[in-house]
Structure 1
């Protein structure tokens, strides 16, 4: 469900793209150091965004390091890290752990049970350090699981669960920015959930899996309604972002929120156009044969 909150590379300056990748590599390095290979496997672009956002908001200057890794064994890569990187890494692992727990409870996936067992010791420490976030993540994913069991077609109810989860993740600490960060995270979380459901709809229909958009997708104006909903969610989130006093890396943050979040939507639309064109060509050839 993650991977939507990323940069739009063609619209980003070279220096900003390098800095963004340094934040991403810094998060990857922290996951490996603190949680091992299993932790590193939970790396997401979305939590990289959280690192940049919270570092900018709280004026936490990251330290620049250079390291080699398995993906880049020859040349050392630039990495940016601070205490917020450690927070984001912990949240990454916690999310993955509870997701695996749900997979085991709902579908009895042995792979999820094994991975969950390997992370259990370190996750207990995260829960002790971040009880508020842990409780909300667990409860939100449980509610999502209930929606799935009920085959709930109320997209607002299902998206609310993930919005609540994302709101808690962005709340690094409870202070004067709490209300704004919660609202920003809430609508961003709803956007992520709805975009994920939109992208997976075709495959979910084929495999008879749960998707809260199945009923609405039967309506003639489905595509128009979806883009309106998505625009409304991200507009609410960006409106709250603009209320925050973020000055450092603001160009990267705006690139992500105004352009990058639409990367997958644009890819989906391109695929739909290609499929429609292929269908038109096929129909035209059939008519010519007649």
Structure 2
């Protein structure tokens, strides 16, 4: 359900793209240092956005370094890290763990069982470090699983579960910015859930999987309704974002929230149009 909160690279300045990649690589390196190569497998672009947002808001000291890695063994890559890189790494791990746990409990996937066993000891440390966030993440993922079991077709209920999950994740600490960050995360989470449901609809219908959009997918204005729902969610999200006094990396953050989050939707629409043209 992650991977939708990304940049639109052609619209970014070269220096901004390099900085974004440096934070992304910094998160990858942090995951390796904290949790080994298994931790690196949990890497997501979505947490890079969270790191950039919190860094811009709180303006901590940023550490820059050049390293080689398995992906870039020849040329050294610059990485940027700060206190939020560690936070992003921990949240990446906890989300991956509970996702794997649900895969094992609900679908008896062997990969889920092996993944939870491999990550369990590492996850215990994260839970002790961030009990508030971990408690809500676990609770909302259980609520989301319950929606699937009850075959809830009212989209707002499961989307709300993921919205509350993202809201808690965005609140690094309870302070003056808590309310705004929580609202931003809530609407971003709902956007992600709806986008994921829209993205997976074809596969879910074929395989008989749960998807709350199945109840309306046969309607004539289905695609337009989905676009309108997504527009409403990201509009609420960006309205909260603009309340924050973010100056550093503002062009990158706006690129993500106003353009990058639509990458997958544009791809789906291109494929749909191509399919319709071929069937004529």
Runs ≥4 residues deviating over 3 A: none
Higher CA-based Rg: 1
Higher mean C-alpha displacement, 166-175 vs 217-226 = 217-226
Counterpart in 1 of 2:63?
63
Once the two structures are TM-superposed, the CA of residue 109 in structure 1 deviates from its matched residue by 1.1
- Paired residues in the alignment total 280
Q: Normalising to structure 2: TM-score of the pair?
A: 0.99
Give matches, 1:224-239, under 5 Å: 224-239=224-239
Once the two structures are TM-superposed, the CA of residue 219 in structure 1 deviates from its matched residue by 1.3
Once the two structures are TM-superposed, the CA of residue 161 in structure 1 deviates from its matched residue by 0.3
CA distance in 1: counterparts of 2:69 and 2:116, whole angstroms: 25
CA distance in 2: counterparts of 1:104 and 1:226, whole angstroms: 31
Task: Flag structure 2 segments of 5+ consecutive residues without an equivalent.
Answer: none
Q: Please give the root-mean-square deviation of Cα atoms over the aligned residues, in Å.
A: 0.6
Write the deviation string for residues 224-254 of structure 1: whole angstroms up to 9, x where unpaired. 1111100000000000000000000000000
Write the deviation string for residues 171-225 of structure 1: whole angstroms up to 9, x where unpaired. 0110000000000000000000000000100110000100010011121111111
Once the two structures are TM-superposed, the CA of residue 61 in structure 1 deviates from its matched residue by 3.1
Counterpart in 1 of 2:131?
131
1:216 and 2:240 correspond? no
CA distance in 2: counterparts of 1:221 and 1:61, whole angstroms: 49
Counterpart in 1 of 2:177?
177
Q: Normalising to structure 1: TM-score of the pair?
A: 0.96
The 3-state SS of whatever aligns with 1:64 is strand
CA distance in 2: counterparts of 1:108 and 1:223, whole angstroms: 33
Counterpart in 2 of 1:270?
270
1:93 and 2:93 correspond? yes
CA distance in 2: counterparts of 1:119 and 1:220, whole angstroms: 45
1:34 and 2:34 correspond? yes
CA distance in 1: counterparts of 2:278 and 2:10, whole angstroms: 28
